[in-house]
Amino acid sequence: MGRVSVIRIENDNFNIRQICDSGQCFRMKELQDGSYEVISRDRYLRLRQEGRKISFYCSREEWEEIWFDYFDLGTNYQAFISRINPRDSYLLNAAGQAEGVRILKQDLWEMIVSFLISQQNNIKRIRHCIELLCEKYGDPCLTEEGVRYFSFPGPERFVGIPQDELMSCNLGYRSKYVVLTAQAVADGQVDLAKIASYPHWRAKKELLRCFGVGEKVAECICLFALHHLDAFPVDTHIRQALDRHYKRGFPHRRYKDCQGVLQQYIFYHELVGKKDK
DNA sequence: TAACAGGGACGTA
DNA sequence: TACGTCCCTGTT
């Protein structure tokens, strides 16, 4: 039995439940004992939160190499909230309910696949699709404590398979999108390393070349993988919220370079926050 | 039982 | 720019 090292931190703008429910990560879930697990690429993490105290069950090395950045812990999210117009009661309220939401720095390929699947789909089903995808095409892995899980399959795993094969993972018509995009990545037509190095506008332009990636999906990938905080994905829920509360348009100028964070606050508020009360 | 909609994008007009 | 279509499944 390997000894489990723990990293403990305190943070007022970190709420693992809110992050999990915010719909940016589909391989994060609450376990029976109230702790959470996160899987990214082939890495596994378990964490637990009590109030503002969070415990990450991983080594110091994993913490420094992966999870500190993954949870964007070098960024002060209260500073974003402070920028909200004090007269904008809607946004203040949304941020107040979602103050533990953060923008994760997730794997690029994983986000491309996840958001290809997300279209005309709901979070619960997206989770299930990705689970099936990992079980069938990922590698079986084992943590030191004996937890079994599957890694996220790389693009090379989908090369040479029929376009409709992923229908067996419930992807439906999106199967073709994932297979064709995987092939484009595998044969170098789409260069993930370059995309990761580009500024927002150019990364988005490249992502839009992928079959199945449209405006909204490209913005999600830019925000949740590339951490372009000026990305602002507009889906049907955000659209409705903007129509109701920002008839003159969202004040992008005022919130330069943090629109994505505010978008997530609004999204969480619209989908989750309102149900609590 | 039978619609229906759920964090869109593509192809065609 | 607009609209039908794509596939699956939990919900009503």
Nearest DNA or RNA nucleotide to A175 (CA to C1'): C7
Residue A277 pLDDT class (50, 70, 90 cuts): very low
A150 CB-to-strand B distance under 7 Å: no
Distance CA A113, CA A264 (A): 20
Residue A276 has pLDDT above 70, yes or no: no
Q: Which two tokens stand for residue A243?
A: 């129509």
The whole-number pLDDT of residue A57 equals 97
A132 touches strand B (CB under 7 A): no
Confidence (pLDDT) at A77: 98
Measured distance CA(A38)–CA(A23) in Å, rounded:
13
Is there contact between A123 and strand B, defined as CB under 7 Å from any strand atom? yes
A22 CB below 7 A from strand B atoms? yes
A170 beta carbon to strand C: under 7 Å: yes
- C4 C1' to A66 CA distance, Å: 45
pLDDT tens digits for range A200-209: 999 999 999 9
The rounded percent of chain A whose pLDDT value lies above 90 is 87
Q: Which of A110, A112, A40, A35 is nearest to A71 (CA)?
A: A40
Q: What is the pLDDT of residue A2?
A: 52
Model confidence band, residue A275 (pLDDT cutoffs 50, 70, 90): low
Measure, in angstroms, how far nucleotide B13 C1' is from residue A92 CA.
Answer: 45
**Residue A208, Cα to own-chain centre: how many angstroms?**
18
pLDDT of A73 over the 50 cut: yes
Both tokens of A92, joined, read: 């203040």
Confidence band (pLDDT; 50, 70, 90) for A3? Answer: low
| A222, A228 Cβ separation under 8 angstroms | yes
Chain A residues 213 to 252 whose Cβ lies within 7 Å of strand B are 213-218, 220, 233, 235-237
- Per residue in A34-59, pLDDT (tens digit) is 999 999 999 999 999 999 999 999 99
For the stretch A212-265, pLDDT in tens is 999 999 999 999 999 999 999 999 889 889 988 998 889 999 999 999 999 999
pTM: 0.96
Q: What confidence tens digit (pLDDT) does each residue in A157-184 have?
A: 999 999 999 999 999 999 999 999 999 9
Cβ of A129 near strand B (distance < 7 A): no
Nucleotide nearest to A176 (CA to C1'): C6
Instruction: Indicate yes or no: strand B within 7 A of the C-beta of A152.
Output: no
The answer to whether the CB of A210 falls within 8 A of the CB of A190 is yes
Asked if residue A72 has pLDDT above 90, the reply is yes
Q: For chain A, what is the mean pLDDT?
A: 93
Q: What is the pLDDT of residue A271?
A: 84
Nucleotide in closest CA–C1' contact with A121: B6
Q: Which of A97, A96, A115 minimizes the C-alpha distance to A212?
A: A115
DSSP class of residue A154 equals P
Q: Token digits for A63?
A: 């913490």
